Amino acid sequence: MKDSVQTHHQIDGRAVAARILAECRAFSEQHGQIGRLVSVSIGDVAEIAVYVRNQERGAARANVPFETQFWPGDISQDEAKAKIQTMNDDAAVLGIILQRPVPDHINLRSLQSAIHPLKDVEGMNPASIGNIVYSDVALAPCTAAASVELIKETGLDLKGLEVVMIGHSEIVGKPAAMMLMAEGATVTVCHHMTRSVAMHSRRADVVVVAVGIPHFLGPDMIKPGAAVIDIGINQIDAPDGGSKIVGDVDTDAVGTIAGWITPVPGGVGPVTVAILMRNAIVAHQRQVAAGWMD
């Protein structure tokens, strides 16, 4: 009985992603060649390969051309910026994806700022994030946008909804809070200096968690029937001596109380990739409107 309750409450991120990717594919097939996405990896970082592979698969499902570039780990800041500028000037490049992490000598924010806002499909340029303050959320950071998409999947009316965002990072927590406010939600943002996170989360209709701590959110931290969006991706030791991926939520325990819950894996992750492809379509539309292409 316990398993059936949990399954009933789970939000299927893969199904949401499939729907978004199908919409993107329909657009790209109707409009023909829309340029290519370029993934940039700097240095040899093993964990990046998984993200690149997932993005490449998402692009294939959306019928969006995808190119991978691997820059040497000792590339200078100026050289990297020059390469980005060349892609900014190339009409055949639809969008630029800067994989993270980057080597210590590279100023990540500076490189993100160098990507033209109309090619910023990840929504990481400070200008893109700043637009969210003015409710322009069409090119928002992908994970933040994915969390909002999954809340909408519950069917809850965001207008007046009480949401608690746990985590206030510049690329997830803060933009997600701004996006939810743009939808009419009342948002409380908790962070490491919040005196009692549970005091806030227990009153919320929706709790979004992005803190990077395995099983941080327990069943005593939510009210019955609340929606829980788990953005965390943490690798922990498994009982068999291997490792497994878990979120920031104690899914088994919280799932028996929550009205809706996203699993890890299979929740926010697939939707994040799908949002990246949706952003690519938006970037194409805006580039056409700006007269960059026919």
Is 9 contained in some domain? no
Angle subtended by helix axes 48-62 and 268-289, to nearest 10? 60
Chain segment 40-58, per-residue pLDDT in tens = 999 998 889 999 999 999 9
Number of domains into which the chain is organized: 2
Is 15 contained in some domain? no
Give the rounded percent of residues in the chain with a pLDDT score beyond 70.
97
For residue 6, is pLDDT > 50? no
Co-location of 95 and 139 in the same domain: no
Co-location of 58 and 176 in the same domain: no
For residue 263, is pLDDT > 80? yes
The structure tokens listed for 272 are 């994040």
Region 270-275: what's the mean pLDDT?
98
Is 208 contained in some domain? yes
For residue 2, is pLDDT > 80? no
Question: How high is the pLDDT of residue 254?
Answer: 96
Chain segment 120-155, per-residue pLDDT in tens = 999 999 999 999 999 999 999 999 999 999 999 999
Select from 118, 149, 178 the last residue of a domain: 118
Co-location of 143 and 236 in the same domain: yes
Is 109 contained in some domain? yes
Co-location of 110 and 154 in the same domain: no
Average pLDDT, the chain: 94
Question: How high is the pLDDT of residue 1?
Answer: 33
The model's pTM: 0.94
Co-location of 176 and 264 in the same domain: yes
Co-location of 72 and 145 in the same domain: no
170 pairs with which residues across the strands? none
Co-location of 264 and 144 in the same domain: yes
Domain coverage including residue 208: 135-270
Question: How high is the pLDDT of residue 80?
Answer: 98
Is 17 contained in some domain? no
Q: Check which CATH number belongs to the domain holding 103 and give it.
A: 3.40.50.10860
Region 238-264: what's the mean pLDDT?
93
Co-location of 82 and 151 in the same domain: no
Question: How high is the pLDDT of residue 294?
Answer: 58
Is 91 contained in some domain? yes
Is 216 contained in some domain? yes
Chain segment 8-33, per-residue pLDDT in tens = 489 999 999 999 999 999 999 999 88
Chain segment 59-72, per-residue pLDDT in tens = 999 999 999 999 99
Is 228 contained in some domain? yes
Select from 118, 145, 164 the last residue of a domain: 118
Co-location of 153 and 88 in the same domain: no
Co-location of 187 and 251 in the same domain: yes
Region 227-235: what's the mean pLDDT?
96
